[in-house]
Structure 1
Amino acid sequence: MAPSPLDRSDDAPLWSQLQDDLQRRIAAGEFAERFPGEHALVGEYAVSRNTVRQALAQLRADGVVTAERGRSPRVTDRRVQPEMVYSVGTTSTLFDVVERTGRVQTSVVRAVVRTFDGVVATRLGLEESTPLLHLERLRLADDEPLAWDRVWLPYDLGAPLLGRDLTHTSLYDELARLTGVRVDEGRERIRVAVADPVRARLLGIAAGDAVFHIERTGAHRGDLVEWRQSVIRADRFSLTADFGPRQGWELTSDTELTTDTDRRRPAVVTA
Structure 2
Amino acid sequence: MRLDRTSAQPLWAQLHADLLRRLEAGDFTRGFPAEAELREEYAVSRHTVREALRRIRAAGLVRSGRGRRSEVLATTIEQPLGTLYSMFAEVESRGMTQRSQVLSAGLTREGRAADALGLAPESELFGLERLRLADDVPLAHDCVWMPAALAGVLVGTDFTRTALYGELERHGIPRPDGGHERIAAAVLDEDFAALLDVPPPAAGLVIERTGTLQGSPVECRRTTVRADRYALTLSFDADGFTVGR
Q: TM-score range by the shorter chain?
A: 0.7 to 0.9
1:212–1:234 contact (8 Å) kept in structure 2: yes
Amino acid of the structure 1 residue aligned with 2:16: L
Partner of 1:151: 144
Q: Structure 1 runs of 4+ off > 6 angstroms?
A: none
Matched, 1:119 2:112: yes
Mapping for residues 90-109 of structure 1, pairs under 5 Å: 90-109=83-102
Structure 1 contact 83–101 (Cα < 8 Å) conserved: no
Distance in 1 separating the partners of 2:145 and 2:189:
22
The residue that corresponds to 1:235 in the other structure is 228
- Show the 5 A alignment for 1:217-232: 217-232=210-225
Q: Answer 1 or 2: which has greater strand percent.
A: 2
Which structure: larger Rg? Answer: 1
Look up the SS of the partner of 1:232 in the other structure.
Answer: strand
Alignment of 1:169-180 (within 5 A): 169-180=162-173
Contact preservation (8 Å) 2:62, 2:73: no
Q: Specify which of 127, 130, 138 is matched with residue 131 of structure 2.
A: 138
Secondary structure in structure 2 of the residue aligned to 1:63: helix
Is residue 85 of structure 1 aligned with residue 78 of structure 2?
A: yes
Q: Deviations over 1:76-132 (max 9, x none)?
A: 256543532221112331111111110010101110122222222111111222111
Equivalences, count: 209
* Partner residue in 2 for 1:56: 16
Could you say if the C-alpha distance between residues 166 and 199 of structure 1 is closer, same or farther in structure 2, counting changes exceeding 3 Å?
A: same
Match of 2:62 in 1: 76
Match of 1:166 among 159, 173, 179: 159
* Cα displacement (A) at 1:53: 2.0
The answer to whether the Cα contact below 8 Å between 1:63 and 1:235 also exists between their aligned partners in 2 is: no
Give unmatched runs, 5+ long, in structure 2: 25-31, 33-49, 64-70
Secondary structure of 1:15 counterpart: coil
Distance in 2 (alpha carbons) for counterparts of 1:68 and 1:122: 46
Q: Give the direction of change, closer, same or farther, for the CA distance of 1:226–1:95 in structure 2 (3 Å limit).
A: same
1:76 counterpart letter in structure 2: V
Task: Provide the TM-score with structure 2 as the length reference.
Answer: 0.75
Structure 2 residue identity aligned to 1:222: G
Give me the identity figure in percent: 37
Distance 1:57 1:131 in 2: 45
State the alpha-carbon separation in 2 of the partners of residues 134 and 247 from structure 1: 39
